[in-house]
């Protein structure tokens, strides 16, 4: 969008006085500045600068203690380039404002490889070189919460005034009870050009899933997902709720996932995963094999937090092992049924807490690795994946960090700089959690052992 188009829009919306110029760090957290709208031209021309290290701060926004990005390099600034996303009105704040998404570049104008959006862009460039276009869609789950107490609990129904207590999957009543919230979510999505599609009431009390329609622009799809998360939290606050994309906010209720569906088109627009058979094309099998081969080393991008591993438990409708199958929701990789022309792959590992740029880069990058190497997958599983003898995903946060840092295949998808920054960030977070003693531990051990 040009400066003239921004100017025209602002003239029609004089109530907007500020703009949020922001990038997303490796945790998917927005970092940036609030500026007066008169500075829009400066933002569009790359006149905003931020430390390159801002892309790799920990979940609390603190610098990584031993990172070369900070003290060794003098904590240098980078150029914040406008991504070209267009106008993103923010309507849930007290005064309406605009969001301008940015991504980082070095001072010489080259992309900064520690920016997660750049990582996805690099993977997509490799697809373009092969004259293939990924068509992607996402399914993103979240919980509405009552956050008035010390611990989150399911919200009160705006209709009945009663607290939600049951796990009513696909409940139309629950959708109707929260109609006002959902209407505002859809309106905000429309204003930000986020293609929100079906909404369903999920397995947990106050849990919802909103799907995004298929697009042939995975970078925009990842933008949509990360912007959607912030939008939902903002609209929820406006309605007096909290909203969370934690993987497992309740120990005894369903976790929240982030599923990716994708197919691949050639230059003529043909789906190369389809060969008219129920099995799918050889390229589909190559892609599945690549996803399986890289899954363990890339688990950190699908489960990046300590809470993420509470979701990845047997029998929880979240995958714990490396396997695939046709129309099998217990498997990590599912090939949905339906018309063969719509043949696609569903990746079911990531939690809703993951960074969409990294999830998309890992999924598409893993599939591309299998295609390039012409890998063949193990036979598809049938029945309960939890009951079968399959290789497990890393079973701890520490194990996932080590696998991402040391794995050779992770280097097929991500540059060394991003891997170093992300593992440094995660190791610092892990160390802090290890020093924190929970109330449950005190209640269990303090006067017992």
Q: What is the mean pLDDT of residues 83-92?
A: 90
> In what helix (H) or strand (E) does residue 18 lie, and over which residues does it extend?
strand 18-24
Banded model confidence at residue 164, pLDDT cuts 50, 70, 90: confident
Strand, coil or helix: what is 185? helix
Percent of the chain with pLDDT over 70: 96
Across 251-382, the runs of DSSP E, i.e. the strands, are: 258-265, 324-326, 333-335, 345-347
Banded model confidence at residue 169, pLDDT cuts 50, 70, 90: low
Q: What is the mean pLDDT of residues 135-156?
A: 91
Q: What DSSP assignment string belongs to 337-362?
A: -S-GGG--EEE---BTTS-HHHHHHH
* Predicted pLDDT of residue 9: 83
Q: Where are the domains of the chain?
A: 3-112, 124-414
Banded model confidence at residue 25, pLDDT cuts 50, 70, 90: very high
Banded model confidence at residue 261, pLDDT cuts 50, 70, 90: very high
Task: Quote the tokens at residue 170.
Answer: 């696909």
**Cα 98–chain centre separation:** 22
Banded model confidence at residue 159, pLDDT cuts 50, 70, 90: confident
Q: What DSSP assignment string belongs to 87-121?
A: -EEE-SSSS-EEEEEEEEE-TTSPBPTTSHHHHHH
pTM: 0.95
Task: Quote the tokens at residue 43.
Answer: 């933002």
Q: What is the mean pLDDT of residues 143-150?
A: 88
Q: Residue 71: pLDDT above 80?
A: no
Q: Are 26 and 362 in contact (CB under 8 A)?
A: no
Banded model confidence at residue 417, pLDDT cuts 50, 70, 90: very high
Based on its alpha-carbon atoms, the radius of gyration of the chain, rounded to whole angstroms, reads 22
Q: CATH says 124-414 is which class?
A: alpha beta
Q: What is the mean pLDDT of residues 266-272?
A: 96
What is 3-112's CATH number, 3.40.50.720, 3.10.20.70, 3.40.190.290, 3.40.50.10800?
Answer: 3.10.20.70
What are 211-254's pLDDT values in tens digits? 999 999 999 999 999 999 999 999 999 999 999 999 999 988 88
Q: What DSSP assignment string belongs to 391-414?
A: PBPPSSHHHHHHHHHH-TTHHHHS
What are 423-448's pLDDT values in tens digits? 999 999 999 999 999 999 999 999 99
Say if residue 300 is exposed, middle or buried (CB neighbours under 10 Å; 0-12, 13-18, 19+): buried
Distance CA 346, CA 342 (A): 12
Q: Do domains 3-112 and 124-414 have the same CATH topology?
A: no
């Amino acid at each position: 969008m040009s400066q003239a188009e921004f100017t025209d829009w602002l003239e029609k919306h004089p109530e907007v006085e500020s703009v949020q110029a922001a990038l997303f760090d490796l945790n998917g957290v927005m970092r940036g500045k609030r500026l007066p709208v008169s500075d829009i031209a400066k933002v569009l021309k790359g006149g905003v600068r931020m430390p390159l290290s801002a892309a790799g701060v920990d979940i609390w926004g603190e610098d990584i203690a031993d990172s070369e990005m900070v003290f060794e390099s003098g904590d240098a600034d980078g150029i914040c380039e406008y991504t070209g996303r267009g106008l993103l009105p923010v309507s849930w704040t007290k005064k309406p404002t605009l969001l301008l998404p940015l991504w980082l570049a070095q001072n010489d104008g080259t992309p900064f490889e520690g920016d997660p959006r750049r990582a996805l862009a690099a993977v997509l460039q490799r697809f373009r070189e092969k004259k293939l276009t990924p068509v992607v869609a996402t399914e993103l789950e979240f919980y509405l919460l009552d956050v008035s107490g010390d611990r989150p609990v399911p919200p009160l129904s705006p209709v009945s005034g009663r607290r939600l207590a049951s796990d009513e999957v696909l409940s139309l009543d629950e959708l109707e009870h929260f109609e006002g919230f959902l209407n505002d979510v859809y309106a905000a999505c429309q204003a930000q050009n986020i293609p929100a599609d079906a909404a369903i009431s999920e397995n947990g009390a106050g849990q919802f899933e909103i799907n995004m329609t298929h697009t042939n622009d995975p970078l925009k799809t990842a933008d949509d997902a990360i912007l959607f998360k912030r939008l939902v939290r903002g609209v929820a606050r406006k309605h007096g709720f909290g909203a969370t994309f934690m993987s497992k906010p309740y120990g005894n209720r369903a976790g929240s996932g982030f599923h990716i569906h994708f197919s691949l088109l050639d230059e003529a627009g043909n789906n190369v995963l389809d060969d008219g058979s129920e099995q799918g094309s050889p390229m589909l099998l190559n892609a599945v094999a690549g996803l399986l081969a890289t899954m363990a080393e890339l688990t950190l991008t699908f489960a990046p937090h300590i809470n993420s591993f509470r979701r990845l438990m047997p029998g929880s409708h979240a995958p714990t092992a490396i396997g695939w199958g046709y129309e099998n929701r217990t498997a990590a990789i599912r090939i949905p049924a339906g018309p063969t022309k719509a043949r696609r792959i569903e990746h079911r590992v990531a939690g809703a807490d993951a960074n969409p740029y990294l999830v998309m880069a890992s999924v598409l990058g893993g599939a591309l690795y299998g295609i390039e190497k012409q890998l063949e997958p193990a036979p598809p599983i049938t029945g309960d994946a939890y009951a079968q003898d399959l290789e497990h995903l890393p079973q701890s946060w520490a194990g996932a960090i080590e696998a991402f840092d040391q794995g050779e295949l992770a280097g097929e998808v991500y540059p060394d700089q991003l891997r170093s920054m992300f593992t440094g960030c995660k190791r610092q977070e892990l160390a802090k959690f290890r020093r924190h003693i929970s109330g449950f531990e005190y209640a269990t051990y303090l006067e017992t052992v």
